[in-house]
A and B are shown apart, each in its own frame.
Chain A
């Protein structure tokens, strides 16, 4: 049985949570309403800003003919594939760096330079080398892979040396250390990397679509801008926000599953 004092504490906490939720919603509502009426009463130019009612109309239009879903799906798929490639490839490269100190020392300055380089500048190169479709993956992976390597590698380095000494005392090979300690111990780092990657890969995908594609939300945004259709631009941006929330939600589910499976305290 809980004491009345505790019940009261719970009540107060719940009230606080409700208040926070309410405040969040009201900000959104206030913003939308202000936007709508400011545009209606011509305080702002609806040609430049569009307005919520118009956005809703063009959302409906785009949703009904299926094109919005198609473009969102394409961007989503590109992001997922980009994330998977850069996680796998980045982890593989980090493993090579851990395995061979020589390789890691030799390649370190290259990684530093590549990390500092604005990857967007590589756009035309990807376009010419990979064509309009695959250059998007090129851009997505280019933007996220270096960070993946650096984060996964630093995760490996955080694993205590004595843990590996223990493995060594049992006569473990390097492969066994990797498989039995490094990879399972890095699960929280993989998740953290994945979270960063969701954002970065989306940047890469949209950037890639800006530069070269004929489909996807990035394409819609650029197209909408070129034909001066702010409705199209803004609806696409909202879909992009929705897409990132969905992918992020998946990562959170994955995190919960992994923490349970690998017994990590959250």
Chain B
């Protein structure tokens, strides 16, 4: 059974002036442990799709299901990682990490132990009592990811999590985040407008069309060199450029027709 399933999902925004159809006829199913990237022209509703999966938004049409049950509101099974880390400056790293646990009224001690263990595992142990302002941008995003993991979700929604850091950090960070997610065995949905990121991290890349958006093509990313390559290796693999060009071309068409 698919872990995440969207059936004929549509979403419209209403304002006093007009009605905007953002998403139309989205059908999508994601298996446990899969890594999916979503790319598309800006403003096509990629992030909206994540909000639907997380239960923060309700679809105007169709159904969003997680493990076969229809989504109604946010669930501890789903974790969100945003473009900005939004670490709270008034808390140190450790107490930032247990924010989710605090909200969900999980046991504090357990959450702290879990946070500490993850920090240790991913090389951030010495920063446990630092304040966020003492960390670099890349470290902050890793802490933000760990904050999401402490709440023990099965599914991670990543909304352009690398776009606020510089290019170099971005490459290493995406590599690290990829390994953390695989290591933890989570299902991940990544929204990005960086094609190389999308291709190098995901098992499947979904391309969305302009508004009203739908999923226009799904690329299964496979390499002759094997499928457990790291993002870094995938960027060097043989078929990488083919995927890149194909997706680029398709996106270009969407952009041109939308002008």
Is A162 touching B86 in the complex (CB atoms < 8 A)?
yes
Is B103 touching A171 in the complex (CB atoms < 8 A)?
yes
- Please, which residues of chain A bring their CB within 8 A of the CB of B151? 170
- Please, which residues of chain A bring their CB within 8 A of the CB of B79? 169
Interface string of B64-78 (1 = CB under 8 A from A): 000000000111101
Chain A positions 144-166 with a Cβ under 8 Å from a chain B Cβ: 160, 162-163, 165-166
Chain B positions 4-24 with a Cβ under 8 Å from a chain A Cβ: none
B54 adjacent to chain A (CB < 8 Å): yes
Is A170 touching B99 in the complex (CB atoms < 8 A)?
yes
- Which of B78, B103, B157 makes the CB contact (< 8 A) with A172? B103
Is B56 touching A168 in the complex (CB atoms < 8 A)?
yes
Is A185 touching B82 in the complex (CB atoms < 8 A)?
no
Is A185 touching B90 in the complex (CB atoms < 8 A)?
yes
Is A180 touching B84 in the complex (CB atoms < 8 A)?
no
- Which of B84, B88, B89, B102 makes the CB contact (< 8 A) with A162? B84
B133 adjacent to chain A (CB < 8 Å): yes
Size of B's binding interface in residues, CB under 8 A: 26
Is B103 touching A167 in the complex (CB atoms < 8 A)?
yes
B100 adjacent to chain A (CB < 8 Å): yes
- Please, which residues of chain A bring their CB within 8 A of the CB of B89? 262-264
A181 adjacent to chain B (CB < 8 Å): yes
Q: How far is the CB of A228 from chain B (nearest CB, A)?
A: 55
- Which of B82, B99, B133 makes the CB contact (< 8 A) with A263? B133
Is B82 touching A165 in the complex (CB atoms < 8 A)?
yes
Q: Give the interface SS of chain A, mostly helix, strand, loop or mixed.
A: helix
Cα of A263 to Cα of B89 in the assembled complex, Å: 6
Task: Tell me which of B88, B90, B133 has the highest count of chain A C-beta atoms within 10 A of its own C-beta.
Answer: B90
B131 adjacent to chain A (CB < 8 Å): yes
Is B73 touching A162 in the complex (CB atoms < 8 A)?
no
- Which of B56, B80, B82, B88 makes the CB contact (< 8 A) with A181? B88
B83 adjacent to chain A (CB < 8 Å): yes
Cα of A185 to Cα of B89 in the assembled complex, Å: 8
Is B83 touching A162 in the complex (CB atoms < 8 A)?
yes
- Which of A162, A180, A184 makes the CB contact (< 8 A) with B103? A180
- Please, which residues of chain A bring their CB within 8 A of the CB of B133? 263, 265
Chain B positions 143-165 with a Cβ under 8 Å from a chain A Cβ: 151, 157
- Please, which residues of chain B bring their CB within 8 A of the CB of A252? none
Cα of A170 to Cα of B90 in the assembled complex, Å: 19
Cα of A120 to Cα of B132 in the assembled complex, Å: 46
* With A160-B86, A163-B86, A185-B90 as contacts: A169 and B54 at CB distance below 8 Å: yes
- Please, which residues of chain A bring their CB within 8 A of the CB of B54? 169
* With A176-B103, A180-B103, A263-B133 as contacts: A171 and B86 at CB distance below 8 Å: no
Q: Which residue of A lies closest to B74 (CB)?
A: A171
Q: Which residue of B lies closest to A168 (CB)?
A: B56
B residues neighboring A (CB under 8 Å): 54, 56, 73-76, 78-80, 82-84, 86, 88-91, 99-100, 102-104, 131, 133, 151, 157
Which 4 A-B pairs give the minimum distances between C-beta atoms? A169-B80, A262-B90, A171-B74, A170-B100
**Selected A-B contacts with CB under 8 Å, 27 pairs:** A160-B86, A162-B82, A165-B80, A165-B82, A166-B80, A166-B82, A166-B86, A167-B103, A168-B56, A169-B54, A169-B79, A170-B74, A170-B99, A171-B73, A171-B75, A171-B76, A171-B103, A176-B103, A180-B88, A180-B99, A181-B88, A184-B88, A187-B90, A262-B89, A263-B91, A264-B89, A264-B90
